[in-house]
Structure 1
Amino acid sequence: MATPGAPVGGVSSGGPQCPPGPALEPKQLPELIRLKRDGVRLSERDIQSFVRAAVDGSAQGAQIGAMLMAIRLQGMDLEETVALTRALANSGQQLEWPEAWHQQLVDKHSTGGVGDKVSLVLAPALAACGCKVPMISGRGLGHTGGTLDKLESIPGFTVIQSPEQMQGLLERVGCCIVGQSKELVPADGILYAARDVTATVDSLPLITASILSKKVVENLSALVMDVKFGGAAVFPSQAKARELARALVDVGAGLGLRVAAALTAMDHPLGRSVGHTLEVEEALLCMDGAGPPDLRDLVVRLGGVLLWLNGQAEAQAEGAARVAATLDDGSARDRFEQMLATQGVDPGLARALCSGTPAQRRQLLPRAQQQEELLAPKDGTVELVRALPLARVLHELGAGRSRAGERIRFGVGAELLVSVGQRLQRGSPWLRVHLDAPALSDPQRRALQEALVLSDREPFAAPSPFSELILPPNNAQQ
């Protein structure tokens, strides 16, 4: 029977308390599993005991899996989820920064999408606005691309940085984009691996704690979450994505962290390029003050929310204008160049990438061996280009990995030659695929053609992917 007031697998307030009584000794793990299995609310001490046992090896794999399944089925209330997040964060090293930075430290996290290169643009743009951005990012797995993989397509870029190196990067550049070290939140790595094989990946409190624990150790003053919904997102339903967004904001508040969450659509790829080097090129185009409108819109909106949330702008619109200015005046691109050079890229290459034309940039990055264009099968208005089948075909071609450590092909990708709302004539090219194989297979070509959705509508302006914003308690929308 589920905890009253808590949706199955959800985060809410309420629920029965642990029976009162002496607590001189920590409860044994089987008792903790039984309590959660029966819908009893666990205390913070109980949750700390479970996490400690997972990290020190005293918990058996079967016991970890049983507790995760109990959490998945019974849910956790807000206080339990806060306690779990705190216990995960405290399982390893904390990042410490100079006192003078404490009102400047901000970050952004996305739940993952297709063509999502926002972090590559937003981190240097925020640095150009006077923020410190210690961005800890991840790699791609499945159909979604990883920020670290995109950056590693730039020869020499090094994602492994010690806390001391991160501080040096923030001092010199104002931002860094790095991978998670084994010293940070080790408990999350253990629980995540267990979730992956116990069908508990979709548990709302476990997702919330996993995401926020990695941000708590950064000692941020503000965080914006980009929670995707739609056909190529973790949550196809906007309602389910909203539930996660609300949990992230509320748990963040419970931990003393200012968190806002944007719900953004992920049916269509973000921007017009998908694939590692192609997305780096498009991010640079955005930092030239150009590029696809939907990418620029999302960068400036998320950045505007962060500057406002952190007290560095009077309103979201003012913050968005400041971020946009860094794209138009080249200051974000300058910070990106500095970040590349300080994270291992040859300074000459970093300079050439950031100052070159799009054609020159393409010569400096890994390229696929072949290109193939697909043609529109009929006249019509582009209603949608489905992101999921596009990403799946690119994954088959080597742009993604199916397991950790698998080699990826940086040059493989696709360029959309059309925009949503655009009128298209039969026989005109709509997609250019970059591939290392001699040609697309018939099933791949068919899957890509089915990704293009045409209608009889008149041409229309494509909507922004930004749908709604969930703000922390006591913050009014501006």
Structure 2
Amino acid sequence: MDVIEVILAKRDRGELTTAQIDWVIENYTSGVVADEQMSALNMAILLNGMTRREIADWTKAMIRSGERMDWSVLDRPTTDKHSTGGVGDKITLPLSPLVAACGGAVPQLSGRGLGHTGGTLDKLESIPGWRALLSNDEMLRVLREAGAVICAAGDGLAPADKKLYALRDVTGTVEAIPLIASSIMSKKIAEGTSALVLDVKVGSGAFMKSVPMAQELARTMVALGQDAGVNTVALLTAMDRPLGRTAGNAIEVTESLEVLAGGGPSDVVELTVALAREMLAAAGISGKDPADALRDGSAMDSWKTMIRAQGGDPDAPLPVATETEVVTAPSSGVLTRLDAYGVGLAAWRLGAGRARKEDPVSAGAGVTWHAVPGDSVTAGQPLFTLHTDEPGRVPRALESLEGAFDIVEGGEPDLLPLIIERIDA
């Protein structure tokens, strides 16, 4: 087969055959197809799209490039969640042990932050001793002990996706919905879970800026999951404002612990409980309600067991930034807007995120906001606290917050609902 023919077929709005897709994925993974050739094909896909059959074949080919995990030896059903990423999105941290406390097994393969969006593994690595890299046998041991494991995907899982993801990142083809959907779902299907709930974020702090774009991505991913025999549903959720009150690493762990202790910000609690109920229902698990597991302490018990099983000390003090700076409200009125992207960019510039995958992150860096849209504020009251280990980072973080909020006398926020829509087909 000739890779040029495949590129030309998609360039000219043709539909790729199953054989063409299998061949190009296999040969790109092995190095026969060059990066510049795959870049051209990715751009053709971005511009001309793919049919449902093409996307399904592309996803299957990426799954076949590596191993497929199997949790059938467990004595409870597996169920998982994937978020498309946002600012202050610490939901995985309380969610995984919460679902475990209600009878599910959660094999959660997570990632690191890049740019303004935070990464679950970066947050958990602020806990002394906690390990993100586990073998498959170690994952199974933690699942048996704790009912949930949160770790990095191994090199054997969809290696084609690792190469493609890195290539898309540097060739302007990240936004192609067929490639986003197949990237996410190839890993999640290969992960071996029996049920999957997708949290597709919408708004300025999310990858999908509009509801129609998010709907298209969600429907594409749900179809891929269902076609692969994974019971898959999606929730479209708001990311026009950041979640909770913190964006960073250790400070988001602290907020997650508040949720597990029965408190925490109302939006984080609402979304955590909603996703937990969806995960349990998708896996056919009934019985204990997640809201009860937060109240009675069983979710916190699952958290501590999970953290210890991965080498961490759940009772150890978390890192604290050496420097803080308070930003006060410039006027009195109602906070009508808090832009998720601006807040995420500020946290990134303070050291909580990275520009390249190999960059280190600061465990203590980040942003705390002391009001949310709809709150009344008074001129001079604290609006943000910036946390950093490098004071030289503060001026650029302050620039990120300029224009990221509105305070209007007698105003009202115009916000997306926290949970916008449920998609199951």
**TM band (smaller chain):** over 0.9
Residue ranges of structure 2 left out of the alignment (5+ in a row): none
**Does structure 1 residue 436 correspond to structure 2 residue 389?**
yes
Q: Higher mean Cα deviation, 381-390 or 445-454?
A: 445-454
Shift of residue 40, structure 1, vs aligned partner: 2.1
1:393 aligns with 2:346: yes
Residue 268 in structure 1 maps to residue 241 in structure 2:
yes
SS at match of 1:378: coil
Give me the whole-angstrom Cα distance separating, in 1, the residues matched to 2:18 and 2:67: 20
CA drift of 1:443 comes to: 5.3
SS in 1 for 2:324: strand
Corresponding residue SS for 1:76: coil
1:361 match: none
**Paired residue type of 2:50:** M
Counting matched residue pairs gives: 425
* Secondary structure of the structure 1 residue equivalent to 2:289: helix
- Is contact 1:131–1:174 with CA below 8 Å preserved after alignment? yes
Q: d(CA) in 1 for partners of 2:103 and 2:407?
A: 44
Question: CA-to-partner distance for each residue in 1:370-407, whole Å, 9 max, x for gaps?
Answer: 22211111111111211212221221221111111211
Measure the CA separation in 1 of the matches of 2:17 and 2:219: 22
Match of 1:307?
280
CA 1:147–1:235 in structure 2 vs 1: closer, same or farther (change >3 Å)?
A: same
In 2, are the aligned partners of 1:416 and 1:430 still within 8 Å (CA)? Answer: yes
Task: Give the letter aligned to residue 17 of structure 2.
Answer: S
What is aligned with 1:8?
none
Q: Gapped runs of 5+ residues in structure 1?
A: 1-26, 314-318, 354-363, 473-478
Give, in whole Å, the separation in 2 of the partners of 1:209 and 1:446. Answer: 36
User: Is 2:378 aligned against 1:425?
Assistant: yes
| Residue type at the aligned position of 2:364 | G
1:196 positional shift: 1.7
Residues 232 and 267 in structure 1, CA contact (< 8 A), matched pair in contact too: yes
CA distance in 2, matches of 1:149, 1:299: 20
Matched, 1:294 2:267: yes
Question: Is the CA contact (8 Å cut-off) linking 1:374 and 1:449 kept in structure 2?
Answer: no
Q: Distance in 1 between matches of 2:366 and 2:191?
A: 33
1:306/1:442 CA distance change after superposition, 3 Å: closer
Which residue in 2 is equivalent to 1:328? 295
The 1-side partners of 2:147 and 2:23 are apart by 38
- Structure 1 equivalent of residue 330 of structure 2: 377
Q: Which residues in structure 2 correspond to 1:127-276 (within 5 Å)?
A: 127-276=100-249
Deviation at 1:461, TM superposition (A): 11
Residue 464 of structure 1 and its aligned partner are, at CA, apart by: 4.9
TM-aligned CA deviation for residue 62 of structure 1: 2.1
The alpha-carbon deviation at position 98 of structure 1 amounts to 2.7
Secondary structure at 2:403 match in 1: helix
Aligned-partner Cα distance in 1 for 2:15–2:358: 39
CA distance in 2, matches of 1:459, 1:36: 48
Q: Which residue of 2 aligns with 1:340?
A: 307
Q: Which residue of 2 aligns with 1:452?
A: 405
The separation in 2 between residues aligned to 1:413 and 1:287, in whole angstroms, is 21
Deviation of 1:442 (Å): 4.8
Q: Which residue number in structure 2 is paired with residue 88 of structure 1?
A: 62
Higher relative contact order (CA 8 A, sep 6+): 2
CA distance in 2, matches of 1:177, 1:45: 36
| TM-score normalized by the length of structure 1 | 0.85
- The alpha carbon displacement at 1:418 in A equals 1.4
Could you tell me which amino acid in structure 1 is paired with residue 197 of structure 2? Answer: V
Q: Distance in 2 between matches of 1:32 and 1:440?
A: 47
Q: Scaled by the length of structure 2, what TM-score is found? A: 0.95
Question: Comparing 332-341 with 452-461, which one deviates more in the overlay?
Answer: 452-461
Give the alignment's Cα RMSD to 1 decimal: 1.9
Are the counterparts in 2 of residues 390 and 447 from structure 1 also a CA contact under 8 Å? yes
- Is residue 63 of structure 1 aligned with residue 16 of structure 2? no
Q: Which amino acid aligns with 1:421?
A: G
Aligned to 1:16: none
Shift of 1:449: 4.7
Spell out the pairing of 1:25-64 with structure 2 (5 A cutoff). Answer: 27-64=1-38
User: How big is the shift at 1:39?
Assistant: 2.1
Contact 1:422–1:459 (8 Å) recurs in 2: no
In structure 2, how many angstroms separate the alpha carbons of the residues matched to 1:169 and 1:255?
26
How far residue 75 of structure 1 moved from its aligned partner, in angstroms, is: 1.1
Q: Is the 8 A contact 2:350 2:397 kept in 1?
A: no
Q: 1:248 to 1:261 in 2, by over 3 A?
A: same
Paired residue for 1:359? none
- 1:325-369 deviations in whole A, cap 9, x for unaligned? 111111111111011111011xxx32x25xxxxxxxxxx111111
CA distance in 1, matches of 2:91, 2:213: 23
Contact 2:158 2:186 in 1 (8 A): yes
Over alpha carbons, which structure has the higher Rg? 1
Structure 1 residue aligned with 2:421: 468
Find the partner of 1:281 among 222, 229, 254.
254
> Is the 8 Å Cα contact of residues 378 and 425 (structure 1) preserved in structure 2?
yes
Distance in 2 separating the partners of 1:94 and 1:282: 34
- Residues 239-291 of structure 1 deviation map (CA, whole Å, 9 limit, x = unaligned): 11111111111122222221111111112110001110000000000000100
Whether the 8 Å contact between 1:117 and 1:279 is mirrored in structure 2 is yes
Q: What's the CA shift for 1:419?
A: 2.5
